[in-house]
Amino acid sequence: MFQIKICGITTTEDGEQAARAGADAIGLNFYPGSPRFVSASQAREIGEVVGEDVVKVGVFVNADVDTIQDLAEQIGLDIIQLHGDEPPRTLRSLSDHRVVKAFRCRDAGFQPVLDFVTACHELGQLPDAVLLDAHAPGKYGGTGLCIDWPAVRAARPAIKNIPIVLAGGLTAENVDRAIAEARPTAVDAAGGVESRPGRKDPDKIRRFVANAQAAFRRVNAQPY
């Protein structure tokens, strides 16, 4: 897995900045409806620049399995992130890959996450992690909205202690508190480290990564 992911990388320069700052994963977005969309050729160039030590996560929204597998092979993706409305059986079709399943959480809580995990248990194919993002109608991530961090921490046992990636409105200014309150396995930032949609701000990335690293060190030194 990874601990700090900078998602929506669209240029080699931004990829270099994320790697240099100490992020251990980047997200490459293959959803055409996103301002952070990248082509296969762009993704390959970014992957070559960041190198093998940085985890490359391919972000897909309701894409067909053949497309996902083809891009994963072309680019050398380390993890597949399903960020749409994919059913549990999609994980079985991608059993050769590590998969993170993303959920856009509404005010009603985490019941859809729990239902999905239960169905995965029945299929014998669990996700390697779940990503919890904020819900905004018609948007698949990058909303700038935060979810209920203490509720994430409380939901961990019900989610069968599957690793949790916390997303949604994270910035250098709030990631410390988010980690302390939610106790996630990892954090994921996109819009919170940008100068404009699709382009990262080097200073925001550096401060986000440094603050997240410090927060994880503090949390890991404390009992749960």
pLDDT digits (tens, 9 = 90+) for 118-134: 999 999 999 999 999 88
| pLDDT tens readout for residues 155-204 | 888 887 799 999 999 999 999 999 999 999 999 999 999 999 999 999 99
When the pLDDT of each residue in the chain is averaged and rounded to a whole number, the result is 92
Would 199 be classed as within a structural domain?
yes
Asked if residue 45 is part of any domain, the answer here is: yes
The answer to whether position 19 is within a domain reads yes
Range of the domain at 105: 4-219
- Is 146 in the active site? no
pLDDT greater than 70 at residue 141: no
100: phi then psi, degrees, rounded to nearest 5:
-110, 125
Distance separating alpha carbons of residues 56 and 138, to the nearest angstrom = 26
Domains in the chain: how many in total? 1
Of 141 and 128, more confident: 128
7 is catalytic: yes
Structural domain contains residue 200: yes
* CATH code of 49's domain: 3.20.20.70
Q: Which two tokens stand for residue 46?
A: 């970014």
Q: Rounded distance, CA 99 to CA 221, Å?
A: 28
Active-site choice (133, 146, 148, 188): 133
What pLDDT sits at residue 106? 65
Residue 173 resides in a domain: yes
Q: In 10 A of CB 102, how many CB atoms? A: 25
Q: Is residue 85 part of a domain?
A: yes
**% of the chain at pLDDT higher than 90:** 82
Residue with tokens 């990631």: 175
Catalytic pick among 7, 105, 120, 146: 7
What pLDDT score was predicted for residue 145?
80
- Is there a domain that residue 224 lies in? no
Establish if 195 belongs to a structural domain: yes
